[in-house]
């Protein structure tokens, strides 16, 4: 009987660990409440203006400096996972931190 009990405990544990490993990854498509979109894939991102940038990347953090000729030109932008489906975007403009923005996962960006 103990063998059956062990199997009953092991199977749910295996299923739990077999779940997709997307949690806490910053890769993906993100939307703001005001309709802006951002897409992150490893070391690159398509930012709200449509420009493509290369940044510093870790599993749940992405940082870039806004490119020249862009509305974010020179801004130090830091993006970090807040929850599996939410992130926080922080901007530092001329050394001054701006209010945080909350973004959420969205579908594919065209």
Count the Cβ atoms, other than its own, within 10 Å of residue 39: 16
pLDDT tens, the chain, 110 aa long: 565 555 544 544 433 343 344 456 899 999 999 999 999 998 999 999 999 999 999 878 999 999 999 999 999 999 999 888 999 999 999 999 999 999 999 977 66
Cα–Cα distance measured from residue 43 to residue 58, given in angstroms and rounded to the nearest whole number: 8
C-alpha distances (whole Å) from 85 to each of 17, 28, 30, 82, 96 are: 19, 10, 9, 8, 28
pTM: 0.72
């Amino acid at each position: 009987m103990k063998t059956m009990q062990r199997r009953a405990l092991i199977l749910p544990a295996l299923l739990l660990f077999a779940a997709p490993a997307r949690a806490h990854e910053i890769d993906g498509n993100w939307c703001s409440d005001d309709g802006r979109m951002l897409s992150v894939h490893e070391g690159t991102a398509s930012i709200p203006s449509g420009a493509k940038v290369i940044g510093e990347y870790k599993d749940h953090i992405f940082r870039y400096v806004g490119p020249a000729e862009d509305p974010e030109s020179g801004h130090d932008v830091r993006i970090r996972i807040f929850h599996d489906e939410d992130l926080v975007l922080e901007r530092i403009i001329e050394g001054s931190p701006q209010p945080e923005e909350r973004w959420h996962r969205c579908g594919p960006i065209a």
